[in-house]
Amino acid sequence: MEELYHFIDGKRVKGTSGRFADVFNPATGEVQARVPLASTEEMAAAVAGARAAQPAWAATNPQRRARVLMKFVGLLHRDMDKLAEALSREHGKTIPDAKGDVIRGLEVAEFCIGAPHLLKGEFTDGAGPGIDMYSLRQPIGIAAGITPFNFPAMIPMWKFCPAIAAGNAFILKPSERDPSVPLMLAELMQEAGLPDGILQVVNGDKEAVDAILDHEDIGAIGFVGSTPIAEYIYGRGCSNGKRVQCFGGAKNHMIIMPDADMDQAVDALVGAGYGAAGERCMAISVAVPVGQDTADRLIEKLAPRVEALKIAPYTGGDDVDFGPLVTAEAKKRVLGLVDRGVEQGAKLVVDGRNFSMQGYENGFFVGACLFDNVTRDMDIYRQEIFGPVLSTVRADSYEDALGLAMDHEYGNGTAIFTRDGDAARDFASRINIGMVGINVPIPVPLAYHTFGGWKKSGFGDLNQHGPDAFRFYTRTKTVTARWPSGIKDGGEFHFKPMD
């Protein structure tokens, strides 16, 4: 069995804690590797290496730092197939989904090549008599990222690319469920010319997380995961005086107006609701048709499409719609929520609970499920399911539909499908949610904008990628400078004393 490692000071390092976690093949249910879980002492050693390396990296001019990312982007293109295969093998998502995971991270790396522009300060000439004022953007020092299993390539790159481009050293604690790709990314960064110690990958569980939260040399922390853990990390990190951004759970509503193109809406729901087996924080998990006729037409067109979805391992070909869930525990939780939905009175239009694939009976597969007549009080509506389950909540009016999304505790993403520009503008203006799609089901902003949710989906003042990332990973220093004025006399300057 393969034994994985940490990546510290530019080399592979075996774990010394004696604790390990199993890494599964989700399609077969078999353990394919084990990953070491770092102790507090191991994390401290990684931080010490980062502390030693960071000053020289910060002193490297931004253009040279950007060139490392430029080379890194080329290496990502070179190794795309290798990265996607490793990602799919540990996560379970299809190869096209895995490549999309890498590409969305790669786009942030491309954006960060523009770091020299993004790090420019401001200058005021003549702010007072003989006085100039200017600001500097300087790195925090050491930053850390605690990243989830569902995007093991994209989210680590969303974290470490801007942090490193800004002159910081970075400690990455990836998910122990699929750790291979983050380790591969660190090695590609080293190949691109990153100095040893600037990017450390330390695998671990809660002990490693707490070591990050408590270490006095780590100045900034980014997290993506569930809301309860986001609240814990945000609270403990802030109480220790750190700059913290945390992104939690989601329950994304898609409103379908009576005038919507129903075929377009159904296509959107199939992809956004069931892609990557629903293990996406931007997945659409609630469809909200406005009016009974709209709801009836939606279910009539949607149900056969959901029934026809192809579920298979990532090796099943490019026409596979989604694969297994990441762990046996995830499968058990999703099935339990589906059962509760039935018990609480929702209509299970498409039942995927008994899905099984010959030869993969021990895999973590759950078939696509579609609910109708879901209400606000049901568990399947209130909780983030994180599986291939779509709930339909019928709304009597546009205001009723708007209220559903606005009243929910999560505020990550939302969408409206309509031909009415006035309705779309009103929705975008009034909705209290961070990312909004208009006839776009998964409104993930491109790398040069910023990603982040509201309410219990996001904690902290600044978002991921875009200009916000450089604000998060730097501090502003403002300088006020006054020089004594000189009087030219016979070709020489005689300086007047300052007042």
- Which residues are catalytic, by number? 281
* Residue pointed to by tokens 């956004």: 272
Measured from the Cβ of residue 289, the count of other Cβ atoms closer than 10 Å reads 28
Tokens of 25: 């093949």
- Best CA proximity match to 156, nearest among 227, 77, 76: 76
d(CA 399, CA 272): 24
d(CA 366, CA 282): 19
Long-range contact set of residues 123-127: C-beta below 8 Å, sequence gap at least 24? 127/480
Cα angle 105-110-113, degrees, rounded to a multiple of 5: 130
d(CA 185, CA 157): 8
Length of the chain: 499
d(CA 3, CA 38): 14
Q: Measured in whole angstroms, how far is the alpha carbon of residue 84 from the centre of its chain?
A: 17
- Best CA proximity match to 339, nearest among 289, 279, 392, 385: 385
Exposure letters 75-97 (e unless 16+ CB within 10 A, then b): bbeebeeebbbbbbbbbbbbbeb
